[in-house]
Chain A
Amino acid sequence: MKVLNVSSPHLNQARSLPMLMLWVVIAGVPGMLTMMYYFGWGVLINVIIACSFALLTEVAILKWRQKPIRRIITDNTALVTAFLYALCLPALLPWWATALGIIFAIAVVKQLYGGVGNNIFNPAMAGYVLLLVSFPVAMTTHWVLPTGLVESPPSFMAALSVIFTGAFPDGAKVNDLVNTLDAVTGATPLDSVKTALTQNFLIEEVMEAPVFGQHGGLGWEWINFTFFLGGLLMIFLKVCDWRIPLAMIIALFIVSSLFYTIDSQNYAHPMFNIVTGGTMLGAFFIATDPVTASTTPKGRWIYGAMIGILIYIIRTWSSYPDGVAFAVLLMNMTVPTLDHYTKPRTYGHTAQGA
């Protein structure tokens, strides 16, 4: 008889890696659908473009590295990276920009470090940041105006046409600021707040603008809510860690409450920070990326909390509207040190590790 397992245990009841990754996508679908409701078909088209280029890039690099392509490609990790990356993009971003970011994410940030499990930085965020620093205007001010501000977002054909040709089917160009652009795109709520505050508007005045809803950006409240529900599903299924999102949201809430209490005229309401921008997507889907996050229990509390604090700092005092991507990447750098100093106390040892 052949010995099948060289070593105990002879049981494994884990959800396999491909299934785990698939659950991340499933948990993100409600959020994506909500985004599609507010921003139209462009969201889905972005996802499809990103996923296609992610898989192509991964196959090419694996072939180059002489790795077993079929086994690695079916672990779904590239798919998850592409999916999350695409959800961060403005809905009418030109296809080549989307492709550029994801190729960078997969080829440089993931595969050049040794592939899944070995990358230091979150590939989705690194790809997004590449676009953000390269095309800041397109990434922040060309967001499709959400449903509610406009009667309906661009149709499927319109979105497709803008993404691939840069023009609406009727000939009007999307980057022609004077004409059609104003009708369909604008700055994100976070960007609006930032711009308004620099022009000495007060928060109360800013919030009266039509781009805001009851607590946060119009539509963004619901998008964050659905990502929050997806996140709860992942925690319930033990697909992602619970400490990081909890620590991040609590920290963001505390810091924004602090500044709101000090000066409610110049600092946005804590709830605004929680329900606007990429907070929930970042908390549950991005910061919890196991490869690039801290692995110790204590380290995860610190990691999550520091991301929350950095998000607030970047949103409030930097020139970028949202800070999730930068916060996550900055904290990625600290992970080895964080893990080193937050080792749990082993059974039978003292806290000093003796």
Chain B
Amino acid sequence: MSENQQSEATELPQNNLTSPPKNVFEKKAQWTFPGGIHPDDKKNISNQNAIQIMACPETLYIPITNYKGHPAVTDVKPGDLVKHGASLVTSIDTPSSRVCSPVDGLVVSIEKRNTLHPSQLPTPTIVLKTDESSSHFKKPSAEKNLSDLKNAEILEIIRQAGIAGLGGAAFPTHAKVDVATPIKMLIINGIECEPYISCDDRLMRERADEILVGIQIIERLVQPERIVFAIEDNKPEAVKNVEEAIIAAKIDTVKIAVVPTKYPSGGEKQLIQILTGQEVPAQTLPSKLGILMHNVGTCYALKRALLHGEPSISRVVTVTGEAVSHPGNYECLIGTPIDFILEQAGIDQNKLSQVIIGGPMMGIAIANLDVGIDNSVNCIIAATRSEIFHTDQHAPCIRCGQCADVCPASLLPQQLFWYANAKNLVKLDEYHLDDCIECGACAYVCPSQIPLVHYYRFGKSLKQQKNQEFEKSEHAKQRFEFRQERLEREKIERAQRHKKAAEERQKRATTNTGDDKKQAIMEALARVKAKQASSAPKDQKTE
């Protein structure tokens, strides 16, 4: 497709294909990012059939966390009956996030349960028993008209609906579309570069028109100069459907960019580099370049929320792997347990070796399957033994540098490995560990089969720990300094008081003349007399 794209751009007169060239995003140069890999994409396991609706389980598990996995507060208590769409979890962190109830049901308990967080630490979780009589996937109500709403009202609806980025990071969307800086380019990310995953692909094939409505909502909010819809060239059907939807909706602001397949071109920084040739400066957000990126799934969720009043209570999940008999894409309610989903997709326990949440390159392997999905779960892989790579021990690094050749961030992975191993935080900084996006390309090509990303995460957590300790000690130091300052201040004040008092005494001693003395004696005598006079009646009373 990339060749198509090029030929369309260069041979305009002869071109009478279905895609008119005005929908094609024209780059000034064939930019790409350095490195990258071409793993077998295995997408055809799951992308053959239309999105199906996953049944509603008896019980949903909804962890009480914010989008970063930090604890949040719950709006319900055990025994509460909740309605479809009611708020379950609210986080007041900046930006605030929210989880809405996917069903009518009963809060059975709030207990510590396993979550999908890689730490696998138990987290307070709402156990929600679903009401069987209610229908969980509501029929779309009539589309609302958005033209009467103010932007602030739209933002509030997005916040209320609990919409978060569905590309995987789950950043609250209302905060992302509420931009302060002018946006030059809005990028719609339909790349989906990880192997196995096809939920965005199916969404683009089946619901491109609705995605476009979502894009128009974002367009209205952020007023971008241009909009680019980026899709990898291994999804020709998705490209075709999006093109047709653009023509049908008569939208001329959205341009399609078909990007050559290479992992990890769907990474935010990498996609920006592919489309614009620019790099997001380290430690900053794309908005610094006037760029904003949203995932296609998020655009779809925005449309559902704003036009149908449907909060973010479900998402399309790719269920795949050779251990399931019905792989495909399923629209699942948030909180649906993984084991329930796998059961519905026809899991073969004998074949199953490992369940991976997310793609095989960046996903996490989980041990406990009785965990509810959250809105960042785009894929569940039920892998057989031969499907995934596994080794108990790795060979030493031979410094072959293949990792550096594939690193999309132009890091030196083998040096980072060395310094992470040595816990050398200074060197880890010098070699820009923070710029590692953990895409896993380095470990994928490593002949010594070193789990490099694991070492980087270790290095990052070491840094974090060190920073926390530093902050703590800084805090203690500050408190100590404050105390010292206070003591010093008090000492000085005391000394000044003493000095002042001494001066007063001295002054009095030197200025006291005979008249003053007489006067003082007279005053004293008068006081004594007065006292005797006032005490006399008292004495009588007591007698």
Contacts and interface: CB of A to CB of B under 8 A. Distances in A.
Interface of A: 1-17, 19-20, 71, 75, 77, 115-118, 238, 241, 290-291, 293, 295-297, 300, 339, 343-349, 353
A278 to B, nearest CB: 22
Nearest to B450: A12
B281 interface: yes
B435 A295 contact: no
Contacts of B389: 5, 9-12
Interface of B: 33, 39, 195, 269, 273, 279-284, 352-356, 358, 360-367, 369, 383, 388-391, 393, 395-402, 404-405, 408-412, 414-415, 430-432, 435, 438, 440, 443-449, 451, 453-454, 457
Contacts of A15: 447
B319 to A, nearest CB: 16
Given A347-B279, A348-B435, 20 more contacts: A5-B388, A7-B454, A8-B453, A11-B195, A11-B388, A12-B443, A17-B448, A20-B400, A116-B395, A291-B398, A295-B412, A295-B414, A296-B401, A297-B405, A339-B412, A339-B415, A343-B431, A346-B435, A347-B410, A348-B283
Most chain B CB within a 10 A radius of its CB, from A6, A71, A346: A346
Contacts of B356: 10
Nearest to B397: A117
Contact of A348 (B269, B369, B444): B269
Given A4-B354, A12-B449, A295 B415 contact: yes
Contacts of B393: 71
Most chain B CB within a 10 A radius of its CB, from A7, A238, A339: A7
Contacts of B396: 115-118
Nearest to A2: B367
A296 B404 CA distance: 8
Nearest to A20: B447
Given A7-B451, A8-B362, A344 B404 contact: yes
Contacts of B281: 348-349
Contacts of A13: 39, 444-445
30 contacts: A1-B354, A4-B390, A5-B451, A8-B360, A8-B365, A8-B440, A9-B443, A9-B444, A9-B453, A10-B365, A10-B383, A10-B389, A12-B445, A13-B445, A14-B447, A16-B449, A17-B449, A117-B398, A290-B401, A295-B399, A296-B401, A296-B404, A344-B411, A344-B412, A346-B282, A348-B269, A348-B283, A348-B284, A349-B282, A349-B432
B21 to A, nearest CB: 32
Looking at chain B's contact residues, the main secondary structure is: loop
Contacts of A5: 354, 365, 388-390, 451
Nearest to A238: B402
Contacts of A3: 354, 365-367
B381 to A, nearest CB: 8
Contacts of B369: 1
Contacts of B366: 3
Contacts of A300: 401
A10 B390 CA distance: 7
Contacts of B195: 11
Contacts of A115: 396
A346 B410 contact: yes
A293 B399 CA distance: 8
A15 B448 CA distance: 9
B43 to A, nearest CB: 14
Given A238-B402, A290-B398, A346-B282, A12 B446 contact: yes
B447 A16 contact: yes
A62 B390 CA distance: 26
B457 A7 contact: yes
